[in-house]
Amino acid sequence: MSKRLMGPALGMLGCAGVAIAVAVFVGIGANAGKVPVKAGAKAEGKFAAAGGAFDVVGAYAWEDGVGIFNNPGIRVAIANAPLDAAAIDAAPDRTKAIRQTGVPGFRVAFLMFAKDGSWEGYSGNGCGYCFQRSVKSTVKVRKGRIAGDVKYAGDAEDLQMSPPFELRFDAPVVPARP
């Protein structure tokens, strides 16, 4: 729950409500390891672009326009913090909801894939739209999920603008909005 929503809620609940809210959140955290992997997203690795590098720990995927021509595909947000799927699902603009998490030092990039999982490029972290042909991707779309490895060795002529990155993710694909 975001701080914006939590503050007013806590004021209305009082001390007893705070204790209940803490117990609920602690219970959810304790139960997190028992949730089947297919229920959520996982991500790991390092992403780098002109805007710098960050460790990847969160992912969220949804059907959206991708690439320079905004063709139907799948966009995968990768971030240096866990992403709240329920909050993103509820937001009218998923990209805006992801960018405005309120987490200090938050970094995000948006990987783009065709409907079959083939690489289409990325945006964010210092890049409006970037596509490198030499990106190696094992990403596949199966049974409502997108998963695989993405690796880029970097551009030897300009490592500052095109640094190497390597990451892995597995996320459910949220359908496009009507």
How far apart are alpha carbons 95 and 54 in whole angstroms?
A: 19
pLDDT band at 28, cuts 50/70/90?
A: very low
What is the mean pLDDT of the segment spanning 147-173? 87
Q: What is the pLDDT of residue 105?
A: 93
Interstrand relation of 165-174 and 58-66 (parallel, antiparallel or unpaired): parallel
Compute the distance between CA of residue 83 and CA of residue 38 in angstroms, rounded to an integer: 16
Tens of pLDDT, residues 59-118? 999 999 998 899 999 999 999 999 999 999 999 999 999 999 889 999 999 999 999 999
User: What's the pTM?
Assistant: 0.75
Mention every residue, 6+ apart, whose C-beta is less than 8 A from residue 136: 149, 150, 151, 152
Q: What's the half-sphere exposure (Cβ side, CA atoms, 13 Å) at 43?
A: 30
Q: How far apart are CA 19 and CA 169, in angstroms?
A: 35
Q: How far apart are CA 75 and CA 123, in angstroms?
A: 10
**Domain residue extents for the chain:** 1-35, 38-174
Average the pLDDT over each of 34-43, 84-93, 119-128 and give the range with the smallest value.
Answer: 34-43
Average pLDDT, the chain: 79
CA 4 – CA 162 distance, rounded (Å): 36
Q: Residue 39: is its pLDDT beyond 70? A: no
Mean pLDDT of 150-175: 87
